[in-house]
Structure 1
Amino acid sequence: MLWDVLMEAVQWSGKNQQQNSNSALRQVKAWAGLLNAFCTTGKLELELIYKVQTQCYEDAKLMKLFPEIIRTLYDHDVLAEDTILLWFRKGSNQKGRQSFVKALEPFVKWLEEAEEEE
């Protein structure tokens, strides 16, 4: 899938975790337009979140980046708020579910508060 190609493009040659994180997030931003073209339905957006979760679960370098990746995809209109909330409430993959849900909790809280203000 396209997500696999994106992660293959990440250069893990940084001298520290921060440089590697920045590299990964730059790639997500660079590919956001193309990902947006493919994520045309809520179901496809949910599949992308599952793919991101699985990739982060399998690669320790990405584990802590999960919330930032999801936020970046949201900020670039790849993922809709409703899709993120659905994943958070009941749709996450079982691989590392508790860790990912907990990591995304502050962002979800922000989404919910912004929704209430509208």
Structure 2
Amino acid sequence: MELEEFERDNSQNRLLSSPVPEICRTEDCCLGIDEAGRGPVLGPMVYGICYCPVARKKDLQDLKVADSKTLSEAERERLFEKLNSTSDYIGWALHILSPNIISTSMQQRAKYNLNALSHDTAIG
């Protein structure tokens, strides 16, 4: 994964994603989005999505997928491994915002606040 590259040089944003499962190309899907991070002072902001066919939504509930803030680090790791091993029907993407870009955006003459930055990142 390209996270090591981001850790060496966090001056640019990164977009990481799984391949789109074939079933997700033909069936209606549901999508969840979450963000986590500390912001420009302490590190990057990370936006994640996970999606699957609506018909498989119960499978996500059975895995106990939830807001990252309600899960322990061990639970998040377990879920990540499980989601990667079920790639035949689950897709995901991460958008990692560089703390440098967050700071630069907020200090421009034409202000680009964190709410607008978050909105634009979530939409893609």
Same fold (TM over 0.5): no
Structure of larger gyration radius: 2
Higher relative contact order (CA 8 A, sep 6+): 2
* Length-normalised TM-score, structure 2: 0.28
TM-score (norm 1): 0.29
Higher strand share: 2
By percentage of residues, which structure has more helix? 1
